[in-house]
């Protein structure tokens, strides 16, 4: 303190002899250099030491700390410090007046001069035309920063004479007081701060926590103490970040280690699966090889001709049976292309093979051809497409059916002869039945008893019903099936003519909804229709009166046939029992329905007589039975 007072005396005396602007400017330069050295270069050296000067996040962090420290820079009450880039843009600063940046930065004559002065790394005093502020600049090249420190002249300029007088008085007082205390102050206050600084330096070297050095002077020792405090804080912050960085690296290493363990486990699993797959593949290859050998043996031992062609029509495989059927050698077959064989084109085999190769659908055909080796034969071929080595191939399995064709021709000739004979038999049976019917008719003319005459007439009608069946068979191309609808229509109209009924009085309706029927079913149905329609003609309508007779035949469902015969006559008694009835015709109907057709019959008396007959009948089963040859044509 005594030294400061003594120094202040000399300084006041010196100040009284010099312009005050120069003193202010020198002080500004000193503090600006001090700020750059201890606030900016110190941080930058820390970054350089740790090789982080090019790491954006760390550089930005330290720059922000420098910006935050600007608020603590108050050398002169009216002073302000700003940091500019090379283009004059304000990065940060402390301004004593909010309008100050616009006041001097917008002056075109000030900015170029400040930046030019800062670019040469010199401090200078600039006095703009307004003469309102004193400026000092400093450059920090690594970050392209220009620091501009300015103070207001208005508040520091006082009358020079008053200042000088005051300075002289202060200098005399300070020199006198300082001379008294200088030795005491030197002994008391100089050695102790040095010891504290030494201890602080040792603590910093030992990486101990140094927060505050108990030196509060504003001289070099105080500045050194503050700098050491900042250095200790920077080292502490660096150690903290280094610890965090080490912790981050350790956590990353642990995480990557876990991932590596997981990947190793997954890799081991994949290796096991691959080994299993390789074993399965070898087993599959073995099975495929065995299957191929087996297939070759089958193809070689087959009695059917087997050939394989590629997508271009070239033969790539032919077994011994194929060579035998075509009467050629295997080398000759393997040299053929079916697209170029004339016999394949004329017989249609080439067209069929091309269609199968195109759409992949299996097809079969029979063809008569002459092989390229001169053999005339019939073959039955089956074509199918398959893929081998990614390319379509054609498989043809064929057999020589020349003998079968010969037998078919013989069978067809024999069948034609049989059909002719059967038609002749049916024709003769029909004629014989007509002769019997004529004999009965001639005999009935000699009888006078009406009851016996009706019996003869009923017998004639029954014979006519059977004769119509043989006539239909004689006219039909299929001797097992007749046109059932035509047969019933002819039968009903024959009965109408036999009874001599007037079509104007009796309305006859026939609805047959099933056309074809086997002979075994058609004959019983014809006899039933003959008896029931005959009874309707005889009993349902009185002579001279009008009436209606109807018949319906249909398939009730897929397994049942239905026959309905109805009339508008007086009907039958409600207690009618067909089993107790003595009529020969109804007994015949009941016997045919229940025993031969295995069906049921029902009599309904409601506005006339309605007879419903149901019996099992399946059109599909009937056709299968007839095709299998189970039908015996009645003679």
Model pLDDT for residues 614-634, shown as the tens digit of each residue: 999 876 655 555 544 444 333
Count of domains observed in the chain: 3
- 482 and 361, same structural domain? no
- 612 and 477, same structural domain? yes
Q: What is the pLDDT of residues 352-376, one digit of tens each?
A: 888 998 898 889 888 887 776 677 7
Question: In the predicted model, what is the mean pLDDT of residues 245-260?
Answer: 82
- 621 and 533, same structural domain? yes
Domain boundary among 381, 400, 419: 400
Q: Which two three-digit tokens encode residue 562?
A: 């239905």
- 169 and 53, same structural domain? yes
- pLDDT reading at 12 higher than 90: no
Share of the chain above pLDDT 90, in %: 3
**Three-class SS state of 31:** helix
**φ, ψ for residue 384 (rounded to 5)?**
-150, 150
CB atoms within 10 A of CB 264: 10
- 142 and 27, same structural domain? yes
d(CA 349, CA 372): 14
pLDDT value, residue 266: 86
Task: Write out the residue range of the structural domain in which residue 309 sits.
Answer: 302-400
Domain boundary among 189, 216, 250: 189
Residue 229 vs residues 50, 64, 211, 236, 532: alpha-carbon distances, Å: 20, 19, 6, 10, 135
| Beta bridge mates, 309 | 315, 394
Domain of 108, CATH number, reads: 3.30.450.20
In a domain, 197, yes or no: no
Q: Using the 8-state DSSP alphabet, how is residue 65 labeled?
A: H
pLDDT value, residue 511: 92
Lowest mean pLDDT among 121-125, 149-153, 358-362, 590-594: 121-125
- pLDDT reading at 57 higher than 60: yes
What angle, rounded to 10 degrees, do the helices at 220-301 and 42-49 form? 30
Question: In the predicted model, what is the mean pLDDT of residues 446-462?
Answer: 73
**Is residue 520 within 8 Å of residue 482, measured between CB atoms?**
no
pTM, to two decimals: 0.36
Lowest mean pLDDT among 2-16, 162-176, 406-420: 2-16
Q: What is the pLDDT of residues 526-562, one digit of tens each?
A: 888 888 888 888 877 777 778 888 999 998 777 889 9
Which residue did the predictor score with more confidence, 316 or 99? 316
Query: Which residues, 6 or more positions from 150, have their beta carbon under 8 angstroms from its beta carbon?
Result: 79, 80, 100, 104, 133, 134, 135, 136
Domain boundary among 172, 189, 206: 189
Q: Which of 536, 457, 450, 468 is nearest to 501 (CA)?
A: 536
Q: Which two three-digit tokens encode residue 17?
A: 């002899």
pLDDT value, residue 339: 85
- 502 and 380, same structural domain? no
Domain of 573, CATH number, reads: 3.30.565.10
In a domain, 256, yes or no: no
- 499 and 361, same structural domain? no
- pLDDT reading at 422 higher than 50: yes
- 505 and 384, same structural domain? no
* 506-512 and 547-557 beta bridge pairing: parallel
- 609 and 490, same structural domain? yes
Which residue did the predictor score with more confidence, 470 or 412? 412
Q: What is the pLDDT of residues 466-518, one digit of tens each?
A: 666 666 655 665 656 778 888 788 878 877 777 777 777 888 889 998 878 88
In a domain, 564, yes or no: yes
HSE of 211, CA atoms in CB hemisphere, 13 A:
0
d(CA 466, CA 539): 24
- 477 and 392, same structural domain? no
In a domain, 425, yes or no: no
Q: Radius of gyration (Cα) for the chain, nearest Å? A: 66
In a domain, 269, yes or no: no
Q: Which two three-digit tokens encode residue 144?
A: 């392209």
- 505 and 371, same structural domain? no
Computed over every residue of the chain, the mean pLDDT equals: 74
């Amino acid at each position: 303190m005594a030294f400061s007072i003594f120094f202040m005396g000399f300084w006041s005396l010196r100040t009284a002899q010099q312009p005050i602007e120069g003193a202010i400017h020198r002080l500004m330069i000193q503090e600006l250099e001090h700020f750059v050295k201890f606030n900016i270069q110190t941080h930058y050296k820390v970054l350089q030491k740790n090789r982080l000067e090019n790491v954006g996040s760390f550089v930005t962090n330290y720059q922000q700390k420098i910006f935050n420290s600007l608020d603590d820079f108050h050398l002169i009450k009216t002073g302000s410090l700003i940091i500019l880039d090379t283009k004059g843009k304000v990065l940060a600063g402390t301004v004593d007046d909010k309008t100050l940046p616009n006041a001097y930065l917008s002056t075109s004559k000030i900015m170029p001069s400040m930046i030019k002065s800062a670019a040469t790394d010199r401090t200078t005093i600039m006095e703009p035309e307004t003469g309102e502020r004193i400026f000092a600049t400093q450059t920090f090249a690594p970050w392209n920063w220009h620091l501009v420190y300015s103070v207001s002249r208005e508040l520091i300029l006082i009358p020079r004479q008053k200042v000088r007088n005051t300075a002289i008085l202060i200098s005399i007082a300070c020199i006198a007081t300082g001379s008294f205390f200088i030795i005491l102050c030197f002994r008391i206050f100089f050695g102790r701060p040095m010891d504290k600084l030494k201890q602080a330096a040792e603590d910093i070297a030992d990486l101990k926590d140094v927060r505050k050095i108990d030196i509060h002077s504003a001289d070099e020792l105080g500045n050194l103490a503050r700098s050491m405090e900042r250095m200790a804080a920077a080292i502490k912050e660096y150690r903290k970040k280094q610890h965090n960085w080490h912790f981050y690296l350790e956590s990353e290493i642990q995480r990557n280690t876990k991932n590596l363990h997981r990947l190793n486990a997954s890799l081991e699993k994949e290796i096991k699966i691959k080994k299993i797959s390789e074993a399965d593949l070898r087993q599959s290859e073995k099975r495929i090889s065995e299957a191929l050998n087996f297939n070759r043996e089958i193809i070689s031992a087959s009695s059917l001709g087997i050939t394989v062609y590629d997508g271009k029509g070239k033969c790539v495989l032919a077994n011994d049976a194929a060579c035998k059927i075509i009467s050629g050698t295997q080398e000759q077959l393997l040299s053929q292309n079916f697209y170029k064989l004339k016999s394949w084109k004329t017989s249609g085999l080439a067209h069929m093979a091309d269609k199968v190769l195109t759409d992949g659908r299996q097809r079969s055909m029979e063809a008569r051809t002459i092989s390229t080796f001169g053999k005339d034969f019939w073959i039955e071929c089956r074509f199918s497409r398959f893929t081998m080595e990614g390319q379509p191939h054609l498989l043809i399995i064929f057999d020589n059916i020349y003998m079968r064709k010969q037998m078919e021709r013989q069978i067809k000739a024999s069948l034609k002869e049989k059909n002719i004979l059967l038609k002749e038999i049916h024709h003769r049976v029909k004629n014989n039945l007509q002769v019997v019917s004529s004999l009965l008719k001639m005999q009935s003319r000699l009888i006078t008893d009406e009851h016996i005459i009706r019996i003869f007439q009923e017998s004639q009608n029954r014979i006519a019903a059977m004769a119509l069946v043989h006539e239909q068979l004689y006219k039909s191309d299929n001797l097992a099936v007749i046109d059932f609808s035509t047969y019933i229509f002819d039968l009903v109209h024959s009965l109408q003519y036999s009874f001599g009924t007037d079509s104007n009085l009796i309305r006859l309706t026939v609805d047959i909804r099933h056309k074809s029927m086997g002979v075994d079913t058609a004959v019983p149905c014809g006899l039933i229709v003959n008896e029931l329609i005959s009874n309707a003609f005889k009993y349902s309508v009185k002579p001279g009166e009008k009436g209606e007779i109807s018949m319906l035949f249909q398939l009730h469902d897929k397994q049942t046939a239905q026959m309905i015969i109805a009339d508008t006559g007086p009907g039958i008694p409600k207690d009618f029992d067909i089993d107790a009835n003595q009529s020969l015709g109804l007994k015949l109907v009941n016997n045919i329905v229940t025993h031969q057709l295995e069906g049921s019959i029902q009599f309904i008396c409601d506005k006339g007589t309605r007879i419903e007959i149901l019996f099992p009948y399946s059109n599909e089963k009937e056709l299968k039975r007839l095709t299998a040859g189970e039908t015996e044509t009645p003679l």
